[in-house]
Structure 1
Amino acid sequence: MNRARLTASAFAAGGVLFLLYQAARPYADETTLEGAAAMASPSWTAAHLAASIGFVLVSLGILGLYLLLGGRRLLPAAVVAWLGAGLTLPYYGAETFGLRVIGARAVRDRDVTLIELVDQFRFAPAAVTVFAAGLALLAVGVVMAAVEIRRSGALRRWSGLPLAVGFALFIPQFYGSPAVRIAHGALLAAGGLWLAYELWRADGHATAPAGTTTGTATGTAAEALAGAGTAAVGAARRRRRPDGPGAAGDRRTRAGACPPEGGIRGRGRAGRAAPTAAPRVSRPGAGGSGGRRGPGCRRPRSTTPGGRAP
């Protein structure tokens, strides 16, 4: 699986995990023994673990976007998202495992006063500050990635918007009803799946052969490049022909079109052209002229039966 599809899988799995987090967690009055039983249930642990993994996968997805698309904002977005995930996960770890222990002890002892420990942990100044800062940084990182997706033009312009809105609403949704929280999970799932679809589709267009339905754009570009290359080769061959359309321009660019007759050697035994000798000063009785002629010179060449210049 290539990088684009790994990135798509990270976004898709992360979005689905956030939906499972909101839909699978038990909802109850957390000031009662019923709430303590909910915290002690396996569903509570599984749901909060799903959210923790979702934070990691979305952060990995933003890093994958940077590796795929580049962009000056995607690397800072990945760094900010990773910092946010690092600050958020300790709080979620305590929610996952610490509250389970408190709930199980309260249910076993039938002691509702133990549930007071839950709020003492949740609203401790250091814990809630770190948690809120982590979620805020995650939201900033996802929003930065959505803005860069819109500017890049490689994916649909608004394909990063649902995920960005979902992370921007992560803190407010804690104060909503179960239905609101499940809807928030559905929004995150939709955002992750849309980004995954766009990445998968773009990768399919990039790797499909020319002439197929999915590779039409790529095939057209390849054909255009091939046509341009053929034209360039043809022009180069015409320039090499002495009588071709490019010969006149070629003669104008040379310093002297007709070197001395004695200044060009014939071919050697191996058939390779011998190096051109420097122009020699004509001697009395020599067949060639010592000076160079102008660009209009077109002296015909004659050869002996042996293939050597006279």
Structure 2
Amino acid sequence: MTDTLVTEKATAAAWFKQLRDEIVAAFETLEDTHDTGPLADAGPGRFEVRETRRSAPDGGDAGGGLMSVMRGGRVFEKVGVNVSTVHGELGEQAQAAMAARKGIPGMAEDPRFWASGISLVAHMQNPHVPAVHMNTRMFWTPHAWWFGGGSDLNPCIEYDADTEHFHATQKSHLDPHGTAHYPRLRDWADDYFHIPHRGRARGVGGIFMDDYCTGDWQADFALTRDIGRAFLPAFVPLVERRRTQPWTDADKDTQLIHRGLYAEYNLVYDRGTKFGLATGHDPDAVLMSLPPMAKWR
């Protein structure tokens, strides 16, 4: 492994951890400042943090990360912000899937991998505040490396102004890297976060990319960083705008039914969920994205 590659991996992993720290601090600040409206009289929520480990077949060190989850806050009903850096060898099923989807030859001869990233899902107390998902990651094999990730908004009660703000903020962060990025990643998100058996989108979209590698690591990493940097300014103003709105039992029922859609997507289609479980990562961390409560008709 070259010195440059070692530095690039360390740089990427450090950035994902830094972004995690910024988001955790921002979300706890939202809890602290929620002093009017529903649940304002409750105590502010705080993240519980524990280390996670990936299970290696031989019992050796295969990396891990931090699982940070807040439950029962004034603003957040459940939110998880996880970071991990894991490594090892891909099993035969993962090798075949990667070779087929990415067209990478030689996986069976050298199945080593390294992956680092941040993954976030927030389910809100107030049905007027949208749920949200965000992740960014770097993946390496001896045959190829790439970046991926994005963020998407999942309101159960849609507000056009919120959707417009979320998308406009992401566009403003992507445009400096080339104006073709936002429409391409927006369309990619619409395609990826689609629930085929329901014939509908999971939410109101966002941005998403995978397998992103132009051959210029610095430029690709800069784009990935700005996807992560767009998250807080895209999402926090929506929380501040909606968190004091009163809600009804009917609103809560609508939220729980929409969460059922979210759970269906993550368990049936999400590639990150499948990869995490297939490669031996901590199942609680992998399934952190599931809502605390959901409902089906």
Whether these two folds match at TM > 0.5 is no
TM-score (norm 2): 0.27
Larger Rg: 1
TM-score (norm 1): 0.27
Which of the pair is proportionally richer in helix?
A: 1
